[in-house]
Amino acid sequence: MANRIDTTFAHLREQKRKAFVAYVAGGDPDFERSLEILHALAEAGADVIELGVPFSDPMADGIVNQLAADRALKAGMNVPRIIELIRAFREKHDTPLVLFTYLNPVYAYGFEKFHHDAAAAGADGILLLDLPPAEAANHADFGNAEALHHIHLIAPTTPADRKKTLAQSSQGFIYALSRTGVTGGHSAPSATIGAQVAELRKLTNTPICVGFGITTPEQAAEVAGHGDGVIVGSAIVRCVQENASAADVAQKLQDFVTPLIEATHSV
């Protein structure tokens, strides 16, 4: 069976359309409304959804995503509940899901078991923020992890040899950071995106999606003009945060994200 990520990008390529990738923290602000938010993103036209696995020490995240993880943890989210959330989402939608996480919760659950259970529930990929691919390749505990596509993150400061290795071993899509730093720490995407994407295209045919600093439809359209997709995270999480006490938080988020998706698809 083909991976949903590959199928989606092949379909987008045929349509000459760019992908919109949305990030949300799983279980934020609680399980039921998080599920409604996932449905709303799929129904708004998101091509891929990155689902954050709440973790107590998200060192690569800015304050917006840190608070989202904290809200989710306080609402009772954990790895088994994330898997339940994926399974519930799959009852209605086939939008690809990429788990955005740190190694600790995956390793504590059991590396191979996590991959198996998440894939069986309906996940398609995983981005492990703090697991260097070279370390994974040399550690027996990280074997048998083929159930999910492993998404690589490449920053502007990634050394050339490492960038080549990551690009050539990439699966699904490459998460290209427009800037260095933590998530949500920038008000606009970098002006060097075009050059960064062009450099990566020389190394791989894997789709390249660009994230960090994208908050408006205009910025989404600008970034879509360079990459194969646009990743929006902190702006979406902030919308959830601002409406966390509202019963209709999913609808408010859908209203917010629809212009971003339309701008991305219009390029």
User: pLDDT digit string (tens) for 164-188?
Assistant: 999 999 999 999 997 655 455 455 6
> Could you tell me the pLDDT band of residue 59, with boundaries at 50, 70 and 90?
confident
Q: What percent of the chain shows pLDDT beyond 90?
A: 82
User: pLDDT digit string (tens) for 104-113?
Assistant: 999 999 999 9
Can you tell me the distance from the alpha carbon of 212 to that of 221, in angstroms, rounded to the nearest whole number?
14
Q: What percent of the chain shows pLDDT beyond 70?
A: 93
Please report, to the nearest 10 degrees, the dihedral formed by the alpha carbons of residues 102, 32, 63, 117 taken in order.
0
Strands, E assignment, the chain: 19-25, 48-52, 97-101, 125-128, 149-150, 152-154, 174-177, 208-211, 229-232
Tell me which of 10-14, 78-82, 214-218 is least confident: 214-218
Decide which of 30 and 139 is more confident: 30
Whole-prediction pTM:
0.94
**pLDDT computed for residue 185 by the predictor:** 47
Mean pLDDT of the chain: 92
Decide which of 192 and 168 is more confident: 168
- What mean pLDDT do residues 224-230 have? 96
Q: Is 70 exposed, middle or buried (0-12, 13-18, 19+ CB in 10 A)?
A: middle
Decide which of 145 and 32 is more confident: 32
Can you tell me the distance from the alpha carbon of 26 to that of 109, in angstroms, rounded to the nearest whole number?
17
Decide which of 6 and 155 is more confident: 6
**pLDDT computed for residue 201 by the predictor:** 96
CATH code, residues 4-265: 3.20.20.70
Report, as residue numbers or ranges, the catalytic residues: 50, 61
